[in-house]
Amino acid sequence: MRTAKEYIVFPLDLPTVEQASRYIRQLSDHVGMFKVGLELFVRGGNRILQTIRNESDAKIFLDLKIHDIPETVRRAMEQIAGWKVDFTTVHCGESPHMLTAAVEGSRGRVSVLGVTVLTSVSAEDIGNAGFESRYAQNLVDLVVLRAQTAHAAGCAGVVCSGREVKMIKERFGPDFAAMVPGIRPAWSLGEKDDQKRVVTPAAAIENGADYLVIGRPIRDAEEPEIAAEMVASEIDGAL
Ligand code: C5P
């Protein structure tokens, strides 16, 4: 059985490798995975991956959310596959070829997750972006359609919100991983930000999430370790 901390993914959304390093040391015993996103990767390149390995036993999620023509995606994935990271992301996008190319490029050395619909996107945004009205009325359908494409392409799982994870688990089974951002513990819900389809850690676990990406509620807490422990005990309760 996995421990509560193994479910917690902390995004290193920080401007410098030095600041990220401080959080890595502080949170190593409290989270199961560190996520490197665009901000830090653009700033520090793959040096940050070595820093994580040197300072922690946690898994590594290189979240670059790639979206490009299949050949470019395949070649980028071949580079990522050489870096010994555990997870990486590609947008599900408009065509299955990008996902197939991502999986081919990964060569089984890194688990590829398809990004379905960002948790910062609302049904209204989808309507305004020109999608069929049935998707704007029921965003879950679009998430499931994109998850279906990712599943068929051989992705290890998807990134989706805690509101859709139950449906995805029912459709694609327990081994198709669900990485869930947009997690907001009840004690952090007062602060408004860009996330729209949010759920609490307990609700995400109850719905079947495998990993909970939780950033600002931990990063901006006065004592990040304590915040991570509060999340872990909520997860424990739900497990
Ligand atoms: O918990 P918080 O909102 O601070 O987490 C932000 C992190 O979640 C960012 O690193 C962002 O890239 C990630 N995220 C994601 N997929 C989404 C939404 C956010 O990976 N759909």
Other CB atoms within 10 A of residue 123 CB: 18
Spatial separation of the C-alpha atoms in residues 238 and 159, rounded to whole Å: 21
pLDDT of residue 190: 63
Spatial separation of the C-alpha atoms in residues 98 and 153, rounded to whole Å: 9
* 65 is annotated as an active-site residue: yes
pLDDT of residue 194: 66
CB 13 within 8 A of CB 41: no
Q: Is the CB of 114 under 6 A from ligand 1?
A: no
Spatial separation of the C-alpha atoms in residues 35 and 183, rounded to whole Å: 15
Residues 6 or more apart in contact with residue 219 via CB below 8 angstroms: 10, 11, 13, 14, 23
pLDDT of residue 198: 82
What CA–CA distances, in Å, run from 93 to 66, 133, 143, 186, 203?
10, 18, 11, 32, 27
Produce one character per residue of 91-100: b if its CB has 16 or more CB atoms within 10 Å, e if not. bbbeebebbb
pLDDT of residue 120: 83
Q: Which fold has domain 4-238?
A: TIM Barrel (3.20.20)
Produce one character per residue of 156-195: b if its CB has 16 or more CB atoms within 10 Å, e if not. bbbbbbbbbbbbbbeebeeebbbbbbbbbbeebeeeeeeb
Q: Is the CB of 160 under 6 A from ligand 1?
A: no
Spatial separation of the C-alpha atoms in residues 171 and 37, rounded to whole Å: 29
Number of alpha carbons in the 13 Å side-chain half-sphere of residue 172? 27
Binned average pLDDT, 10 residues per bin, the chain of 239 residues: 96 95 97 96 93 96 97 97 96 94 98 92 89 88 95 97 94 97 85 74 97 96 97 97
37-59 tens-digit pLDDT = 999 999 989 999 999 999 999 99
CB 115 within 8 A of CB 159: yes
In the chain, where the domains are located: 4-238
Other CB atoms within 10 A of residue 2 CB: 10
pLDDT of residue 191: 61
Q: Is the CB of 9 under 6 A from ligand 1?
A: no
Question: Dihedral angle at the C-alpha atoms of 217, 218, 220, 223, nearest 10 degrees?
Answer: 130
Which residue's CA is minimally distant from atom 13 of ligand 1? 181
Q: Which of 213, 216, 220, 231 is the best mutation target for the ligand 1 pocket, counting ligand atoms within 8 Å of the beta carbon and taking the most?
A: 213
Q: Is the CB of 159 under 6 A from ligand 1?
A: yes
pLDDT of residue 188: 85
